[in-house]
Amino acid sequence: MNSIAFTIGPLTFYWYSIFVLLGITSAYFILKLEFKRQKMSLDFLNDYFFYTIPVAILGARIYYVIFEWESYKDNLGEIFAVWNGGLAIHGGIIAGVLFTIYYTKKKKMDTLKIMDIAAPCLILGQALGRWGNFFNQEAFGSPVDVSVLKNLLVPQFVIDGMPSVTDKYGEIIKNLCYQPTFYYEFIICLFGFIVIMLIRRRKNIKIGEQSAVYFIIYGMSRFFIEFLREDSLMLGTFRVAQIVSIVMLIGGIALFIRQNIYSQQLYNDIEKKNQSTKKKK
């Protein structure tokens, strides 16, 4: 599997970067549609998106480098080679959420409302970005018999594109294939996107529920997928992603319960907002 998509003169374009860019572009498109539907400021959206994306990417890279420091300490130049992979989504989520809290407070916007709008866009971006892992030959799990993957309806081109499983002598072991955990996560993130978009259309959904559902779906799924991966970031004997996933899951459940019990703010209360605006005019 070639990680290079194409070259133009001295410029080299990597599949990893292309899929990350595709995820970002798709996220912006859906964000813009929802901002228009909610009759919210597109100027705010453009500024928010312009700042949040680099902050999230930087957070994802710093997070990864911290837990893989042994691989970078003797070759610091590789820290900047993002096209080779090494963006930890949990680092991006943490950085993105913290920046969203800061920026929405600064602009006097509803933080949970903005996070709700961003939730399906984020999980769709994650789904698309996972294909960058496929071309970079990373984010895969332990070897299993090929028949197991076929029973799971994993596409043949994914099976064929996975790295070969070899024995200690370097000989390829037939009928064995690494589990494409990137593909499992792609499917779950795509499922999460559909679920959140369906929830979004409900009339009585509370502000904060979409964010909560995102944290619950991704936190729970990533926790179990991490058991299968062989390239997990570690903190001692613990898998870092599982620790963060547990926090996401608990936080999502707590947020969902809190908003349903205490909040009176409806996410789709657009008509009421429009009537209020007309009265002020």
The first and second tokens of residue 122, run together, are: 């984020």
Between 95 and 278, name the one with better pLDDT: 95
**pLDDT for position 277:** 45
56 confidence band (pLDDT: 50, 70, 90): very high
Contact yes or no for 218/125 (Cβ under 8 A): no
202-238 pLDDT, tens digit each = 989 999 999 999 999 999 999 999 999 988 899 889 9
Tell me what pLDDT residue 273 has.
54
For the segment 268-279, what is each residue's pLDDT rounded down to a tens digit? 987 555 444 445
Check residue 272 and give its pLDDT.
Answer: 56
Amino acid, single-letter form, for residue 131: W
pLDDT of residue 28: 96
Tens-digit pLDDT profile for residues 193-210: 999 999 999 989 999 999
- Cα-based distances in Å from 153 to 146, 162, 165, 196: 11, 15, 20, 24
Work out the percent of the chain whose per-residue pLDDT is above 70.
96
Average pLDDT, the chain: 91
Query: For residue 86, what pLDDT is reported?
Result: 82
Question: For the chain, which residues make up each domain, given as ranges?
Answer: 4-142+179-280, 143-178
Residue 271: per-residue pLDDT: 52
pLDDT for position 105:
97
Asked if 259 and 204 count as a contact pair (C-beta separation under 8 A), the reply is no
pLDDT digit string, tens, across residues 131-177: 999 998 888 999 999 999 999 999 999 999 999 999 888 899 989 99
Confidence of residue 281 (pLDDT cuts 50, 70, 90): very low
Provide the pLDDT for residue 275. Answer: 46
Beta strands in the chain (DSSP E): 4-8, 11-14, 143-145, 176-178, 234-235, 238-239
Task: Please check the confidence at residue 106 and state whether its pLDDT lies above 80.
Answer: yes
pLDDT at 147: 95
Judged against a pLDDT cut of 60, whether residue 280 lies above it is answered with no
